[in-house]
Structure 1
Amino acid sequence: MKIEQNLLEEIENDLTLEIVKNRDYILEKIRVILKRDRYTFQMFNGKVGGKNNIYVDSVMTQFSDFNDFYSQWLKGVRNDYEKRTKYGSIEGHNAQLLKEPKLEKYIRIFLERNFYRNLKERTRLKPNVELWKVWFGYNVIFGLLIAPKREEGTWIIDKSEIRRADYSYWTIGHVFKEGLIDNSLSKPFYIYNLEQFESIYLSIFQQLSNSVYEKQICEKYIEYLRQSENLESEPFLIPEVRYLGLEKKHLYRLDFTILNSHTQEYIGFEISPASSHMSVKGLKEKQKIVNEELSKKWHKEMQKRNDYFELYDITTITLTEHDFQDIDSCWSLFEKYLSSRSEDKTSVQSELKRISNI
């Protein structure tokens, strides 16, 4: 999409300015450490950028974002250093350069530019640009935006801040950091802790629902969060995600949505009692008329699922009144997608700590 390409170009330009500004200082610092007569940017590129397929499997691995890539790259640096030192001491390894904070920062920026230059290849199933702004609710509408910015009376995405977001997208940490957005107000609605989140979730989102099943799921979700050992990493169970965002003319809403940035699984849940989704007016009419009306309603339900998948990559799961005879079984399906995490995840902080100990 054109908007996405423009955004990537802006991010790359910002990173290039930082790289050029500090290039001479960094190259001289590395030259001294490596005891070379000269050290060029081409040498730096080979030493750092040329190691991607040594430190990580950058071809086959799907990275959720740059922090995911960088943490695994750092892990590969440390592992490679340990492997080589088994055969004797070595000098000038990238692990040794990374112990110097200014060099680590420069290497991080250099790799980040490369990551965004190859975003499609690095992330493959990257977050859909349409999900950078998620509007949800009815009667009361809120938004969860990545790097929100107020401009000319409306909320937009601050392109210069997207790459600096220090939270996993669409998580409780995201909610705590950016707040929820009311498009009619000039400031975000900030939530700072679980107690405040619980109050909003149960007092507003739960009470706006007319479905006893949706209310039960809201309560189950809050209980799930209370038990979490890493609250801010938990996906936000988003109620009533709006297909047309802020458009006044309502088309579709999904009862609940999980956008799991850890696994890049996007799952919608429809709680569909027959009485509200597939009821037929005039059941005493001729069977032909009844069947035609059922066909129209079924088509609308299926079109809704297809449209959410096409625009947002969201797969929809439907739960019926029959399913809700066992509420715990229904909730286990929500919990499966909420708790799912990619295997072998690490963090930038933990890997830098490992490197500092060499």
Structure 2
Amino acid sequence: MAKRDPNKTARNRMIGTLKEKLRELLPKVLADSGFENEQSLNAKIGSRNDDFFDLQNDVINSQEQFVSKWLEGLKESALNDGVVSDLSLWKKIKAKKSLKEYTILFLKRSYLKHFEELSKNRPPIESAELWIGQQNANYGLLVTPRFKDGKWENDKSEIRAFSNAYWTIGHVMKTGLVIPGKEKIFKFNDIEQYLLFFQDTLVRNSGSNHEYEIAGHYCDYVRASDTPELIPLLIPEFRYAGLATKHVYRLDFLIINPYTLDKVGFELSPWSTHGYLGKLQGLTQKAINEMAADNFAKEIRKHRAYFKQHEVFCLIYTDDDLKNPKKLFKEEILPFLQTEKPQNQLSFQILDEFFED
């Protein structure tokens, strides 16, 4: 049986308390404000959220912030935009103490009911889809995938309501991987099926033994976890140019923190594929140095491009690092997989205990 989240339990208790207070205030509020019933009153207040907030992008960290932004939106609409119905509501709230109290309590309850989706960082629309894999063997990882006009896109209005932590095992288990240009989704029946596909299809196709070994250590880590669905994905072969036919760059591995959305890339760069210079016979030392410098410049351009275009900070590992893949995974990659929710999130448990009668 899943362990209950004490913070969520406390939040639900606070929602119940606010509901009771609203019911106590209701008769006087209806008499003072002229609203016919509870449904019409609540609908009037609650229906304006989409207009007063940018619900796709705003991150709201407290009840007070939610109330403040809502009131600012109402004032702007009433006094500057001249929306008659909002002007009427604004005047009533200003004039009637009971309605003012009811509105604030209602908004606080609304925030608590939608806390998870309102308070979490959400990927911007342009960053909410990732394309991975080799040419003609590539897949898309989206947040809220839908097939429209012959191509995949996110349902933008639903990104904020996505229930799983972004870019985690739980994420891919919910969405699957989409097939570009076709209304097909590669779904996984269980985590083990995904891990097999990850290592023996996505990673093995790269032809890199180093990547394959790192992928194996990642799979072992996920299998040993009590909460594998919360582990960030080790995203293989992240395509710099997405679905563009002309291949530019691919990144060996990418991890995105599900809470901060910070991105870190891992590039395994053995000399044999990233530095070796062939056909040197007859070349001067100057020409050889120029070839080596050109190779180095290409590698640096790649990592600079990933940072500028996708805000991915890349870590590079060379032959000495790759001698011990297990150590590399444990010391360099694992820390980025051990993520926790930021500690600045509200503790509803302590608030509930402090204000308990």
* Amino acid of the structure 2 residue aligned with 1:175: V
Q: State whether structure 2 residue 182 is matched by structure 1 residue 188.
A: no
* Amino acid of the structure 1 residue aligned with 2:307: F
Report what 1:132 is aligned to: 128
Report what 1:259 is aligned to: 256
Write the distance in 2 (CA, Å) between the matches of 1:275 and 1:315.
24
Give CA deviations for 1:303-322 in whole Å, capped at 9, x if unaligned: 11111111111000001111
* Amino acid of the structure 2 residue aligned with 1:208: N
Write the distance in 1 (CA, Å) between the matches of 2:301 and 2:313.
12
Contact 2:307 2:313 in 1 (8 A): yes
Contact 2:271 2:318 in 1 (8 A): yes
Report what 1:344 is aligned to: 343
Identical-residue share of aligned pairs (%): 29
Give the TM-score, by structure 2 length.
Answer: 0.67
**SS of residue paired to 1:206:** helix
Question: Which residue among 145, 149, 154 is the counterpart of 1:152?
Answer: 149
Give CA deviations for 1:281-303 in whole Å, capped at 9, x if unaligned: 32332111111111111111111
**SS of residue paired to 1:262:** coil
Contact 2:63 2:108 in 1 (8 A): no
Report what 1:77 is aligned to: none
Q: State whether structure 2 residue 198 is matched by structure 1 residue 201.
A: yes
Contact 2:265 2:315 in 1 (8 A): yes
| Change in CA separation of 1:341 and 1:106 when aligned onto 2, cut-off 3 Å | closer
* Amino acid of the structure 1 residue aligned with 2:276: S
Write the distance in 2 (CA, Å) between the matches of 1:167 and 1:180.
15
Q: State whether structure 2 residue 311 is matched by structure 1 residue 317.
A: no
Q: State whether structure 2 residue 168 is matched by structure 1 residue 171.
A: yes
Which range is displaced more, 336-345 or 292-301? 336-345
Contact 1:241 1:253 in 2 (8 A): yes
Contact 1:263 1:341 in 2 (8 A): no
Contact 1:256 1:269 in 2 (8 A): yes
Larger Rg: 2
Deviation of 1:104 after TM superposition, in Å, equals 3.8
Write the distance in 2 (CA, Å) between the matches of 1:164 and 1:158.
11
Give the TM-score, by structure 1 length.
Answer: 0.67
Deviation of 1:203 after TM superposition, in Å, equals 2.3
| Change in CA separation of 1:169 and 1:324 when aligned onto 2, cut-off 3 Å | same
| Change in CA separation of 1:103 and 1:241 when aligned onto 2, cut-off 3 Å | same
Alignment of 1:188-337 (within 5 A): 188-284=185-281, 285-332=283-330, 333-337=332-336
Write the distance in 2 (CA, Å) between the matches of 1:194 and 1:347.
31
**SS of residue paired to 1:173:** helix
| Change in CA separation of 1:221 and 1:31 when aligned onto 2, cut-off 3 Å | same
Write the distance in 1 (CA, Å) between the matches of 2:222 and 2:140.
21
Report what 1:4 is aligned to: none
Contact 1:71 1:346 in 2 (8 A): no
Indicate the structure whose relative CO is greater, using CA pairs within 8 Å and at least 6 residues apart.
1
**SS of residue paired to 1:216:** helix
| Change in CA separation of 1:210 and 1:353 when aligned onto 2, cut-off 3 Å | farther
Task: Give me the CA root mean square deviation.
Answer: 4.2
**SS of residue paired to 1:141:** strand
Gaps of 5+ in 2: 1-20, 36-40, 50-56, 67-99
Which range is displaced more, 195-204 or 269-278? 195-204
Write the distance in 1 (CA, Å) between the matches of 2:26 and 2:64.
28
* Amino acid of the structure 2 residue aligned with 1:336: P
Deviation of 1:143 after TM superposition, in Å, equals 0.8
